[in-house]
Amino acid sequence: MTPVATGFAMGTEFAIHTEGLTKRFGSQLAVDGVDLRVPVGSVFGFLGPNGSGKTTTIRLLLGLASATSGQIEVLGKRIPEDLRMVLPEVGALVEGPGFYPYLSGAANLHRLDTADGHATSATRRVRVQTALERVGLSHAAGKKVKAYSLGMKQRLGIANALLTPRRLLVLDEPTNGLDPQGTREVRSLIRSLAAEGTTVFVSSHLLAEIEQVCTDAAVMSVGRLVAQGTIAELRGVGGARVRLESPDRDLAIAVFSRFGMTVAEPGADATELIAAFGEKEPDPEVMVAALVDARVRVRSFTVDRPSLEQRFVDLTGEGFDVAG
Amino acid sequence: MSPADRPALSNRSVLGLPLLASEISVLFRRRRTWAMLASLALIPVLIALAVRLTSSRPSTGRGPAFLDQVSQNGLFVSFVGLLVSVPLFLPLTVGVVAGDTIAGEASAGTLRYLLIAPAGRVRLLVVKYVATAVFCVAGTLAVAVSGAMIGAALFPIGPVTLLSGDSIAVGDSIVRSLLIAAYISVSLLGLSAIGLFISTMTDVPVGAMATTIVLSVVSQVLDSLPQLDWLHPWLFSHYWLGFADLSRQPILWDSFGSNLILQAGYILVFGALAFGRFTTKDILS
C-alpha cells in the first residue's frame, strides 16, 4: 500500500483520492469501498478483469454517476461539488470513444471543445490540429468518423482528451482496438505526457500493455481494490525467493535460517531448495559466499521474482482477461 | 505543471454561446434535418400542384379549408400548407428533433464527453432546448416560405380577403403570414419541452421520438372529444389551429395570448421535470 495520506481534504499529494467509494446498482455492488490514492505525477495503472468495476469507478471520478457513499477528491477538489472547476483540467477517455458519425474527426473535436466553457475559441482550430497530430490522425482529419476504423476512433478519443493542457488524464482502456504498433504509440504518448508533468490514470484489463509505462498501480477485483502501490511495492509483496540446487540440503537450510529465511517448500527433487526472504533481502553474492563457506556444494543459485502478471492473477484469482 | 503555469481560464463563454452555436450548426449539418425541412417544404408544393393540375373550377367544401381560395390567390398556399402541417407533419419533425436531444447524444456516446468537457448539465439542457426551438421556427418557415414561393409561381397574387371580409394588401398579408408562422412556432414549444423531458429518460432516441409524436396525437384526439371539454384548455395542442384569429381585421390576439401562456406553462413544467431528471441521472451510456 502507498504511504498513508495525511488526512482527507489535504488533497495536494494525490491527483485522485477516494475513501470508501461505493456504488450500488440495485442489489449489485459495482464498486465496494474503494480507497484509491493516485500520486500527482504518476502514471497509474488501474487494473482488473473486465467487469471488476474499473469503468464505474471512472464514471464516479468524473461525476457522470453519483456515488452511493464515500468521498472523492480529484486534483484536490471535491467531486461532485467542484466538478465545474475540476473537469477543464481533466482529459478523459471513458468506455471507448463516442463521436458524431456524420461529422469529420476535426469537426467532432471542435464540437466537443465548444462544450468546455473555459476553452478559448480563438485557439480552437490550432488546438484541434495539434491534438490530431499528436495521435497521428492529421491525414484523416477531414474524413467522416463513420469511415474511421475502431483504432482510429480510439485515437480520436485520445485526441479529444488532449484538446487543452491537462493536469490529469483518465484513459479507460486506451489500447482497445489498436494494433501492436498503435499500442506502442499510445505507450510512448503516455510517457511523453507524464514527462510534461501530467498525471496519467490508465485503466486496462491487459497488464502487459501498460506495465512498462506505469509507476504505480492498483488492482480491482469484483468491485474491490485488492492491491495498490508503486510497481516495485506490488512486485515486492509476496516477495522474491531463492532457488538453490545442492545435494547438501541440511547444511543449506542452516545457512538460510542465519539470514532469517525460511524454506518455503520442497523443490522439484531432493536437490532443489526454495527459500523465502525474511525481513531483509541480502545480496545474492553474500549468500552464495556464505553457502560456500559452510561447505554447501552449490550447483545453481537463482533469485526468483514473481512476475507482476503472476501477482495480479494471484490477486484477482483468475486469468487476467477473463470476465469477472 | 503548477496551476500558475497554465493559461488563465476565460470566463467569457460561461453562457454557453459557443456550445449553442455548435449545437445549431451540428443540427443543421445533419442530413436528417434537411430531409425533414425538405419534406415540410414539399407539402405546400404538393397542395399547389394538386390545385393547379386538377381544378379549373375549385369545388368548395372539400379538402382542407380555404383550398378553394388557393387558385384565386397564391398567397393562400402558405396558409393552407401550414393548416395541413400543424396536426401531424410539424409535430412529427419536432418530435424527432426534441426526442433526439439527450437520448441521441447518449446513444452516440457523445453525452459523456459533452458532460466531462464540461458542458454542465443545465447548460446542455438549455442549449438543447433552444436548438429545438430554432428547429420549430425553421420547420414552420420551411412550409410558409415554400408555400409563398410556389403560390407566387403558379397562381395570381393580389390583395387577400380576410376571414372578417376585409381586404388587405400583399405586403400586409406577408406580415400576417409571418405572424401565423410565429404563432405556430410558439405552439410547438410545449411539445418540444415534453420531447426534451422524455429524451432525458432513455438512451434510445427512437423511443423518445415515437413517444413524443404519439403524445402529440393523443393530445389532439383528447381535444376532439367533447366529453372531456374540461380538459381541453390544458392540452398543449388546444390552440394549435387557433391562428385563424390572426387573419381577422382587426387581429384577435386572444388565442395568441392564451397559447403563449399555455406553452410557457408546459415549458416550465416539463423543463423542470427534465432538469430534475437530467441533473440527478447517472450517465451510464
pLDDT tens for each residue of chain B, 285 residues long: 344 344 444 444 556 788 999 999 999 999 999 999 999 999 999 999 998 888 655 555 556 667 777 878 888 899 999 999 999 999 999 999 999 999 999 999 999 999 999 999 999 999 999 999 999 999 999 999 999 999 999 998 888 888 777 888 888 888 888 999 999 999 999 999 999 999 999 999 999 999 999 999 999 999 999 999 999 999 999 999 988 888 887 888 888 999 999 999 999 999 999 999 999 999 998
Q: How far is B114 from chain A (nearest CA, A)?
A: 6
Asked if A88 lies within 8 A of B9 by C-beta distance, the reply is yes
Q: What is the mean pLDDT of residues A312-318?
A: 73
Partner-chain residue, chosen from A98, A121, A196, that has the shortest CB–CB distance to B18: A121
Cβ(B245)–Cβ(B256) below 8 Å: yes
Interface test with B, best of A74, A111, A160 (most B CBs within 10 A): A111
Asked if B114 lies within 8 A of A112 by C-beta distance, the reply is yes
Report which listed range, A79-88, A226-235, A255-264, B130-139, is most confident: B130-139
Asked if A117 lies within 8 A of B116 by C-beta distance, the reply is no
Domain CATH number, residue A48: 3.40.50.300
- A59 CB near a chain B CB, below 8 Å? yes
Which chain B residue is nearest to residue A25, measuring alpha carbons?
B282
> Tens digits of per-residue pLDDT, A91-108?
999 998 999 999 999 999
Last residue of a domain, one of A210, A236, A262: A236
pTM: 0.86
Secondary structure element (H or E) that encloses residue A21, with its range: strand A14-25
- A111 CB near a chain B CB, below 8 Å? yes
Cα–Cα distance, A112 to A107 (Å, whole number)? 9
**Same structural domain for residues A135 and A162?**
yes
Quickly state the pLDDT bin for A72 (edges 50, 70, 90): very high
**Same structural domain for residues A231 and A279?**
no
Select the more confidently predicted residue: B64 or A281: A281
Interface test with B, best of A55, A64, A166 (most B CBs within 10 A): A64
Quickly state the pLDDT bin for A266 (edges 50, 70, 90): low
Select the more confidently predicted residue: A307 or A178: A178
Grid cell 483504432 is found at A151
**Same structural domain for residues A223 and A250?**
no
**Same structural domain for residues A163 and A79?**
yes
Domain count, chain A: 2
Burial environment of residue B285 by CB neighbours within 10 A (0 to 12, 13 to 18, 19 or more)? buried
Residue A284 one-letter amino acid = P
Residue A139 has pLDDT above 70, yes or no: yes
> Does A124 map to a domain?
yes
What mean pLDDT value characterizes chain A?
A: 87
**Same structural domain for residues A51 and A170?**
yes
> Tens digits of per-residue pLDDT, A10-32?
445 899 999 999 999 999 999 99
Asked if B283 lies within 8 A of A87 by C-beta distance, the reply is no
> Does A179 map to a domain?
yes
A267 contact partners, CB below 8 Å, separation of at least 6? A243, A245, A273, A274
ipTM: 0.87
Residue A235 one-letter amino acid = R
CB < 8 Å to A89, chain B: 6
**Same structural domain for residues A65 and A179?**
yes
Grid cell 458532460 is found at B115
> Does A323 map to a domain?
no
- Concatenating the DSSP letter of every residue in A238-260 gives T--EEEEE-S-HHHHHHHHHHTT
Give the pLDDT confidence score for residue A271 in this predicted structure: 82
**Same structural domain for residues A213 and A246?**
no
Q: How many CB atoms lie within 10 A of CB B123?
A: 19
Last residue of a domain, one of A212, A236, A260: A236
- A12 CB near a chain B CB, below 8 Å? no
Question: Taking chain B, what is the end-to-end CA distance rounded to the nearest angstrom?
Answer: 33
Cα–Cα distance, B179 to B158 (Å, whole number)? 19
Counting every residue, how long is chain B? 285
Cis peptide leading into residue B250 (ω within 30°): yes
> Does A316 map to a domain?
no
Per-residue CA distances from A22 to A30, A31, A36, B93 (Å): 8, 5, 12, 43
Interface test with B, best of A57, A114, A124, A148 (most B CBs within 10 A): A114
Taken in order B217, B218, B222, B225, is the CA torsion positive or negative? positive
**Same structural domain for residues A246 and A184?**
no
Asked if B116 lies within 8 A of A87 by C-beta distance, the reply is yes
> Does A145 map to a domain?
yes
For A39, the 3-state DSSP assignment is: strand
Give the pLDDT confidence score for residue A11 in this predicted structure: 43
Cα–Cα distance, B139 to B27 (Å, whole number)? 13
* In chain A, residues 155-194 whose CB comes closer than 8 Å to chain B: 160, 165, 167
**Same structural domain for residues A221 and A259?**
no
Give the pLDDT confidence score for residue A1 in this predicted structure: 39
Quickly state the pLDDT bin for A237 (edges 50, 70, 90): low
> Does A317 map to a domain?
no
Among residues A291, A257, A297, the alpha carbon closest in space to that of A277 is found at A257
B99 contact partners, CB below 8 Å, separation of at least 6? B195, B198, B199, B205, B206, B207, B208, B209, B210, B211, B212, B213
Quickly state the pLDDT bin for A268 (edges 50, 70, 90): low
> Does A1 map to a domain?
no
**Same structural domain for residues A138 and A268?**
no
**Same structural domain for residues A154 and A221?**
yes
Give the pLDDT confidence score for residue B186 in this predicted structure: 96
Domain CATH number, residue A267: 3.30.70
Cα–Cα distance, A134 to A80 (Å, whole number)? 31
Q: Quote the percentage of chain A above a pLDDT of 90.
A: 56
**Same structural domain for residues A224 and A275?**
no
Domain that holds residue A169: 14-236
Q: How far is A307 from chain B (nearest CA, A)?
A: 34
**Chain A / chain B CB contacts < 8 angstroms:** 109
Q: Quote the percentage of chain A above a pLDDT of 70.
A: 91
Last residue of a domain, one of A176, A202, A236: A236
Q: What is the mean pLDDT of residues A103-115?
A: 95
- Grid coordinates in use for A268? 522439484
Give the pLDDT confidence score for residue A200 in this predicted structure: 96
Quickly state the pLDDT bin for A51 (edges 50, 70, 90): confident
Taken in order B123, B129, B131, B133, is the CA torsion positive or negative? negative
> Does A9 map to a domain?
no
Residue B236 one-letter amino acid = F
Which chain A residue is nearest to residue B18, measuring alpha carbons?
A114
Which chain A residue is nearest to residue B111, measuring alpha carbons?
A98
Strand pairing category for A216-221 and A224-230: antiparallel
Cα–Cα distance, A61 to B172 (Å, whole number)? 60
Residue A259 has pLDDT above 60, yes or no: yes
* In chain B, residues 103-162 whose CB comes closer than 8 Å to chain A: 108-120, 123-124
